[in-house]
Structure 1
Amino acid sequence: MESIFHEKQEGSLCAQHCLNNLLQGEYFSPVELSSIAHQLDEEERMRMAEGGVQSEEYRTFLQQPSGNMDDSGFFSIQVISNALGVWGLEIVLFNSREYQQLRINPINEKAFICNYKEHWFTVRKLGQQWFNLNSLLTGPELISDTYLALFLAQLQQEGYSIFVIRGNLPDCEADQTLQIMRVEQLQRPKLIGEDETQRVSVQQVSDTTHTTDEGVLEEDEEELRKALALSRQHMEVEDEEADLRRAIQLSMQGSASPISETAGSSHDTSSIDTLNAEELRRRRQAYFDRQQLSHSADSHSAGGLKDSETKPDQ
């Protein structure tokens, strides 16, 4: 799937990533999207001024921040719609009653863009196959035709707004390549933050091991002792592991994960929501430390991976 353009997350520029992944190229930059947002702001200001520049409504409008962009890099649906209009594309609300009454099979569409709590991402058909091009993933995620409708329904249930892309998308290498071949995906891509957190956690454990004489904080030592104790007590319970993974994903995104691996899991996250930031950080650190210790123990075993066989202290 090397030919598929997949722009990964930088800051809060998910709207830019969504558009570029949809169009399969570096078509928009933050500067260009900001220009569209400022133009929309000016048009709104002029409409408000028609009621009188001395009116209370106009003065209140001037004091409010832009609804089309913010300093973090977020852009509104109006900005996205105008950006797509440059390419002769328009958006239709998939969630609307009018569209649902048309009873169009989603696999007959060309692409969708999805939004939840200011995060945008693209689902697009390339060749004869569908791909989740979420910028939070390490790479494109293949979605089967039979799973596409379920995937979109799951997003709707989680509160996503979904828009159908209408019009002729620009030609791209991936679409041409996948018209004559099909791809298979043996392993789904992970969240970018998940891999980063794991690498950081592994490095922290290594640093702690090699710098115990260099003033390691007592709190970090206590966390490591807790992780060692857990690894000796057969605490690898599947339900706990699943809850921690979901908590880690939620903490990285600030909301429910949009990828299909999460879509198939339970929606009961009340226990996760009750965790405060410090407790979540501790549990997440302990979880990754435990994974690293388990991996280290397995590397000395000649019989391969044995996740639950941790020998007690002699």
Structure 2
Amino acid sequence: MESIFHEKQEGSLCAQHCLNNLLQGEYFSPVELSSIAHQLDEEERMRMAEGGVQTEEYRTFLQQPSGNMDDSGFFSIQVISNALGVWGLEIILFNSREYQQLRIDPIHEKAFICNYKEHWFTVRKLGQQWFNLNSLLTGPELISDTYLALFLAQLQQEGYSIFVIRGNLPDCEADQILRIMRVEQQQRPKLIGEDEAQRMSVQPVSDTPVPGDEAPLDEDEEELRKALALSRQHMEVEDEEADLRRAIQLSMQGSSDPTSPNAVVTAGSSHESGSSEETLTAEELRRRRQAYFDRQQQAHDSSTAGEVKDSGTKPNQ
């Protein structure tokens, strides 16, 4: 995966990392994104001025901070949309009624950008394979075609906003290479700093500070890591789990508030002559998914044990 461009997190510049990982190159810098944000601010100011520069609304507007950027490095969806417009790309809200009516299988798209609590990251297809290019990860994460729908559905349940990228992405080396070959990933990438955090967690408790100790995570960082934990799970979904796949598809298409943890989806077998449906909550969907993964793991363990028995050798200790 050395050919895949993966910009890792620096400060709060996740919007820059999201764009560059999507375009597969160092196409945008904080200065360029700030310029776009200032241009949007000026356009908003001019629209407000049309109602009169002496009005209370205009004076209040001037006193408010920019909604397109802040000092931490955050940039709004408007800035990202305008930056992509330079490349002839547009974004469409994945869960919008207009898009869902198209009933397009996610694997037929080219890329998605996702947002949760002001953190942006890219999921992109390179060659014939999908990759999670989250800047908080130590490297690209391979996502199987079957797992992609589940991944996006789970992101929505966790409260993410997801946008579909439409248009022709610029050519890149990784896309060219992965068109003629496929890669396998033996170990999922971890969150940046996770190894250090795990090492610190097993050290004995001491009243004396240890040089190099990391500061504890604040609440937002902890919640973000929990929400992103799913991107490290080693999961594969098989086509035989038809009811689960239908539930996932419907969870992305249908409830009035799909980001609510209590959103209800409907799954079941349908035919031209009729249908049999059952109602599933988001929690039940997660339980079904986990139960399926547990069965897959048990089957894998049984298969491995059988192979060891047949060979007459003992497994390594």
Same-fold call, TM cutoff 0.5: yes
- Shift of the 249–104 alpha-carbon distance from structure 1 to 2, 3 Å rule, reads farther
Letter in 2 for 1:194: E
Distance 2:108 2:191 in 1: 28
CA apart distance, 1:24: 0.1
- Residue in structure 1 matched with residue 207 of structure 2 by the alignment: 218
1:96 and 2:85 correspond: no
- Residue in structure 2 matched with residue 20 of structure 1 by the alignment: 20
- Residue in structure 2 matched with residue 105 of structure 1 by the alignment: 105
1:257 and 2:227 correspond: yes
Q: Deviations over 1:12-63 (max 9, x none)?
A: 0000000000000000000000000000000000000001111111011011
Three-state SS of the structure 1 residue aligned to 2:27 is coil
- Residue in structure 2 matched with residue 56 of structure 1 by the alignment: 56
Residues 156 and 162 in structure 1, CA contact (< 8 A), matched pair in contact too: yes
Residues 190 and 232 in structure 2, CA contact (< 8 A), matched pair in contact too: no
CA apart distance, 1:264: 8.7
Please list every run of at least 4 consecutive aligned residues from structure 1 whose deviation after the TM superposition is greater than 6 angstroms.
Answer: 247-251, 262-265
Three-state SS of the structure 2 residue aligned to 1:74 is coil
Query: What are structure 1's unaligned runs of at least 5 residues?
Result: 209-216, 222-246, 268-302, 306-314
Three-state SS of the structure 2 residue aligned to 1:190 is coil
What's the Cα RMSD here? 2.9
User: What TM-score do the two structures reach when normalised by structure 2?
Assistant: 0.68
1:1-314 matches, cutoff 5 A: 1-198=1-198, 201=200, 205=203, 218=207, 252-255=221-224, 256-261=226-231
- Percentage identity across aligned positions? 82
Letter in 2 for 1:39: Q
Letter in 1 for 2:43: E
CA apart distance, 1:98: 1.2
Query: What are structure 2's unaligned runs of at least 5 residues?
Result: 211-215, 236-260, 262-314
Residues 158 and 227 in structure 2, CA contact (< 8 A), matched pair in contact too: no
Residues 154 and 263 in structure 1, CA contact (< 8 A), matched pair in contact too: no
Three-state SS of the structure 2 residue aligned to 1:218 is coil
Distance 1:72 1:254 in 2: 19
CA apart distance, 1:110: 0.2
Residues 37 and 69 in structure 1, CA contact (< 8 A), matched pair in contact too: yes
Letter in 1 for 2:227: S
Distance 1:67 1:254 in 2: 23
Distance 1:105 1:13 in 2: 31
CA apart distance, 1:249: 11
User: What TM-score do the two structures reach when normalised by structure 1?
Assistant: 0.69
Letter in 1 for 2:108: N
With 63-72 and 187-196 compared, the bigger mean Cα shift is at 187-196
Letter in 1 for 2:79: V
Greater strand content = 2
- Shift of the 8–66 alpha-carbon distance from structure 1 to 2, 3 Å rule, reads same
CA apart distance, 1:197: 2.6
Q: Deviations over 1:173-218 (max 9, x none)?
A: 000000000000011000002124345x28x959x9xxxxxxxx73
Distance 2:176 2:155 in 1: 29
CA apart distance, 1:151: 0.5
Distance 1:160 1:126 in 2: 23
Three-state SS of the structure 2 residue aligned to 1:257 is helix
Three-state SS of the structure 1 residue aligned to 2:185 is coil
Figure out how many residues of one structure are paired with residues of the other and give that number. Answer: 234
Three-state SS of the structure 2 residue aligned to 1:73 is coil
Distance 2:222 2:171 in 1: 32
Q: Deviations over 1:155-180 (max 9, x none)?
A: 11111110000000000000000000
Residues 114 and 121 in structure 1, CA contact (< 8 A), matched pair in contact too: yes
CA apart distance, 1:90: 0.4
CA apart distance, 1:97: 1.3
- Residue in structure 1 matched with residue 248 of structure 2 by the alignment: none
CA apart distance, 1:95: 1.2
